[in-house]
Structure 1
Amino acid sequence: MSQRKRFTELDSMRGLAALIVVFYHYTVYYDEKFGHEQWGQIDLFTFGHYGVQLFFIISGFVIYMSLMKVKSVSDFAIKRSIRLYPAYMFSVALTFLIVSLASAESLRTTFPEAMVNLTMLQDFIPTVKNVDGVYWTLRVEMTFYVIMAILLSMGLAKKTMSIAIIWLAASAVIQLANTVLATDMTAFIEKYSMSNYSQMFIIGMMFYGIWQNGNHKKYFYMIGLAIGYDFIFEGVTNGLFSILFVILFQLILMNRMQWLNSRILLFFGAISYPLYLVHQNIGYVIIYKMESAGFLNISYILVPFLASVLIAYGIHQYIEKPSQSVLLSMHKDRREGYLKHPLVKK
């Protein structure tokens, strides 16, 4: 399989996943949580939350690829922090401010909770509320990073198949234990071990193996096991969407999805992270204010959408890109300075 430095189609897919999740939150999920005044149930986006699965599969591929390029655990952790925290911290502050000013009581968090949210560790603390509901996925992502960092520190990161088999088996044991015993402890372990989502990351990792080493059967067997796991523990619909995403991913690796490289989709791919971070609660505030003012037509959903896109673009252009450029340069200079130090072994 031909090697490429970057799959821009994955950026577009990430953008599409973000758009699907945004419209799901503004229609179906908002209606379930608060009730739209006149919109009713919007069936078109009923399955929009499955876009998160696609995020996790892409993350499994991209993060595992990144892991193969770093020199140390600290290098991996610093680069991940530089990628995630600037946009995230600004989004936390902005969301907290807007929700507080809007007096949206059901969405509000306390100032101490917001301070904890700045660490991105709040979802590991049961008593602390997320500033925005979508932040729960960051706990799952961070758990994946920790697992990968541990494997890197042990020199096992390149044991792709062994990692996948052991991880999926352990996840199955955790899921079975929670099904059979159904105690608070088993539920706690299931949640914080991310056993509900491990199969998604494993699929992404297998596609990295396919991209790197070719269409070896072992990778497809493992993908098949992960999909089977999905059907057994997460349900038929979950499994069917996993099959769909696997097909799309394989087509991308085969260079059969070039149409995804459109400027519009690549734009949404570029802003997908900040868009995901800011769209939900800020959008809910806008929808509530509009409905209170009598703007009840479904077409008005474009208002919170465009507002979120504008905010996300601003964060991407003026927070995310400049901060990453500066911080990565500082990290590179610091690392090169360390390696040139006379006491460091060559």
Structure 2
Amino acid sequence: MSVMVDRPTQQLRKVQVRRPTAPLRRERPRLYAIDGIRLLAALMVAVHHYAGTWRVNQPGNAVWVRPASDIMPTVFRFASYGWIGVEIFFVISGFVICMSCWGRSPRQFFVSRVIRLYPAYWFGIVFTTAVVVALPGVWDRLKLRDILLNLTMLQSGSHVDSVDGVYWTLWSELRFYLLFLVVVATGLTYRKVVLFCCVWGAAAMLAPVAEFHLLTLAANPDGAWFFIAGLALYLMHRFGQDLLLWGILALCWLMGQRELGIRIDEVEHVSGWRGSFLIFTAFLLAMVAIALGATDRIRWKWLVTAGALTYPLYLTHYVAGTTVINRLKDTMDARLLVVSVIAGFMVLSWLVHRFVERPVARVLKRGLDTSFARLRNAA
């Protein structure tokens, strides 16, 4: 006996198998808390350079003459950990670059990076060089041809010293941008960014043992894990958390603590690993809270301005600031001098942002947009 089943009933009984899809995007308001962390990181770096480096703690140093730990021991104890602000910048950079590039073309990505990086950087080179020329004795002046090469931001690739030592981080940033541009060119998706994190992480693990210079240059093992952490955090922010993203972040946390230890042993020499690891861990937890929306209620408008000051502050504070400290060290209490110099450079940073960055960026954007339009329409 046959059983007749009508066509609609058959369709209802069919088991529909759906492909897994990428997580849905979650709309979030502006992340004011990140602007606040950026300013905090910049202040950490500035205090470190003025009162917490191995250099300023040597007898007869060119800044304070006496060791900073003798002049202000409590400040030195805390300032010696301020260098971690650089690693914080790298994580934030990974987060912000991924956020700002989503849905943009390679041309838009390139233009946005040029107008963001170069105006304040060019000012920093001119300003710092002028200070070194006007107030000699603390820092050596570079040759003119090296100063001119610095204007490209590519001096590290030519083994040329930077006008200001803090510019070494820009070389790491540029290499990150170049790698990420490949993903931007293919169109950013959740899957592609995750794959990029995994491939870059693998390259960063292999580079130290491969002894292949090109791989080390591209993989940037010193900074890769911090940038990757920022990318994973942004994916959490945009699409929500999952085990894979937590795994990437955990790996970055474990590999990052190793990089902190290496930097302490080879460069800093003034702070302990445990304290550095604790600060780094606390920062990552704060970034997780931001990524998951715990700080969305923070909407203080002044934080936008504070975040805008961090880049010019970072570019101008070190060489010029330590030179000023050397000239004024005998005129007031050392702690008051550090606070005063930082306050002065924050004012300078606002002026640079208002009267250099913004107008020059507008001119550059118009010029680059016109140039790319001409290139696109050229025969």
Give the structure-1-normalised TM-score: 0.86
Give the gaps of 5 or more residues in structure 2.
1-24, 262-272
Q: Partners in 1 of 2:317 and 2:109 — Cα distance?
A: 28
Residue 321 of structure 1: how far off its partner (Å): 1.4
1:173-192 mapped onto 2 (5 Å cutoff): 173-177=206-210, 190=216
| Residues 10-52 of structure 1: per-residue CA shift (max 9 Å, x gap) | 1111111111111111101252362633625411212100011
* CA displacement at 1:121 relative to structure 2: 0.7
Q: How many angstroms apart in 1 are the aligned matches of 2:375 and 2:187? A: 25
| CA distance in 2 between partners of 1:301 and 1:233 (Å) | 29
Q: 2:146 aligns with which of 107, 113, 126?
A: 113
Distance in 1 of aligned mates of 2:341 and 2:117 = 24
Report the secondary structure of 2:317's partner residue.
Answer: helix
For the structure 1 residues 150 and 263, does the alpha-carbon distance in structure 2 shift closer, same or farther, using more than 3 Å as the test?
closer
Deviation string 1:286-333 (CA, Å, 9 cap, x unpaired) is: 110012x45453222123212211211110010111222343355556
Give the structure 1 partner of residue 163 of structure 2: 131
The percentage of counterpart residues that share the same residue type is 26
> 2-side partners of 1:192 and 1:239: how far apart?
26
Partner residue of 2:31? 7
SS of 2:347's equivalent in the other structure is helix
Q: Is the alpha carbon distance of 1:177 and 1:286 closer, same or farther for their aligned partners in structure 2, counting shifts above 3 Å? A: same
Query: Any idea what SS the aligned residue of 1:69 has?
Result: coil
Q: Distance in 2 between matches of 1:26 and 1:96?
A: 19
Q: 1:103 — aligned with what?
A: 136
Asked if 1:212 corresponds to 2:273, the answer is no
The answer for the alignment partner of 1:146 in structure 2 is 178
Which residue in 2 is equivalent to 1:318? 355
Tell me, yes or no, if structure 1 residue 225 matches structure 2 residue 259. no
Query: Residue 247 of structure 1 corresponds to which residue in structure 2?
Result: 285
Aligned residues: 331
Taking the aligned partners of 1:10 and 1:189, their CA distance within structure 2 comes to: 32
* Bigger Rg, structure 1 or 2: 2
The counterpart of 1:19, out of the listed 43, 50, 72, is 43
For 1:109 and 1:192, the matched residues in 2 are separated by: 28
Task: Tell me if structure 2 keeps the 8 A contact 1:210–1:219.
Answer: yes
Q: 1:109-158, CA deviations, whole angstroms, 9 ceiling, x for partnerless residues?
A: 222111111111112222x11111110000000010011113334x2753
SS of match in other structure, 1:271: helix
Deviation at 1:240, TM superposition (A): 3.9
Match of 1:270 in 2: 308
For 2:28, what is the secondary structure of its paired residue?
coil
RMSD: 2.7
Rounded Cα–Cα distance in structure 1 between residues aligned with 2:279 and 2:205? 20
In the aligned structure 2, how far is the partner of 1:251 from the partner of 1:225?
18
Aligned to 1:279: 317
Tell me the residue number matched to 1:181.
none
Q: CA contact under 8 A between 1:164 and 1:202: conserved in structure 2?
A: yes
Q: Which moved more, 1:219-228 or 1:255-264?
A: 255-264
Q: TM-score, normalised by structure 2?
A: 0.79
Residue 220 of structure 1, CA deviation: 0.7
Deviations, residues 71-126 of structure 1 (Å, cap 9, x unaligned):
22x33112200111011101111111111111135342222111111111112222
Task: Provide the rounded CA distance (Å) in 1 between the counterparts of 2:28 and 2:286.
Answer: 17
Match of 2:42, as an amino acid? Answer: A
Distance change (3 Å), C-alpha of 1:135 and 1:260: farther
Distance 1:59 1:233, change over 3 A: closer
* Amino acid in the other structure paired with 1:247: L
> 1:6: Cα distance to partner?
2.6
Q: What is the alpha-carbon distance in structure 2 between the residues aligned to residue 337 and residue 246 of structure 1? A: 44
Which residue type is aligned with residue 3 of structure 1? E
